[in-house]
Amino acid sequence: MKQAEAALLRISLQEFSHLPRYQSEKSGEVFERLTADDNLDMYRNLALSIDQRIPDALNYLQSSSQILGLYLEAFDQHAVGGIEIVELRGASLRLCVVILNLFNEFLPTIDKGDPTYLVRMNGLKQMRHGTALMVEDHFQVLTESQIYRTSEIKRLVGYMQNTLPEIIPELSEGSRSKILTRLHSLLDDPKMQHLKPELGALVSAIENSTQPDTSP
């Protein structure tokens, strides 16, 4: 992904419209590789050391974030379409799930007597806060029907429904409350009626994921 970031940066410096595009005959396969879910399989592989997977996953996150930034800049210049942004955002949500799972796997291995324990826990807190901001940024797309097709927005909601029920429970209580309040406001907004079924399903999925476990 770092190599892809460097290559795409070179392309964008020459001409944004030459960036790989979703399902393009010329560059569709390249774009599909950028957003492929199996890119993340290494980080899900429990046979590999957690000490190896976390740094690699964070490097992957940094590069994928830079790539999304390039595409957003290209989108602002009408050089790429909304579907590319939606696919990249969907990939970022899947990556977020993987990283949160990695940290949950890593936490029990940390010795509370380690001098770096508080620093690490503060870093985790900051990471979760950043994740909440990222989720809120994705919500903004749902309101931008003037620049995204309805089909593209619905596709993003689908990606959210597949990932947010795993992401939201990992956030602070304040962040969870803020996100659900925002979703309910979107659901009740008359301007969002074209997304009401999809938003309703998303809200239900998140609320179900944040209910306490009452199983025996």
Model pLDDT for residues 15-38, shown as the tens digit of each residue: 999 999 999 999 999 999 999 999
Going by the DSSP 8-state scheme, the letter that residue 78 receives in this structure is: T
Going by the DSSP 8-state scheme, the letter that residue 34 receives in this structure is: H
Q: Which tokens belong to 86?
A: 């939606």
pLDDT band at 110 (very low <50, low <70, confident <90, very high): confident
pLDDT band at 127 (very low <50, low <70, confident <90, very high): confident
Question: Measured between alpha carbons, how far is 39 from 43 in angstroms, rounded to an integer?
Answer: 9
The enclosing H or E element of 104 equals helix 82-106
- Residue 90: how many other CB atoms lie within 10 Å: 20
pTM of the complete model:
0.92
Distances (CA, A) of 194 to 34, 82, 104, 137, 160: 30, 18, 37, 20, 17
Cα 78 to chain centroid distance, Å, stands at: 23
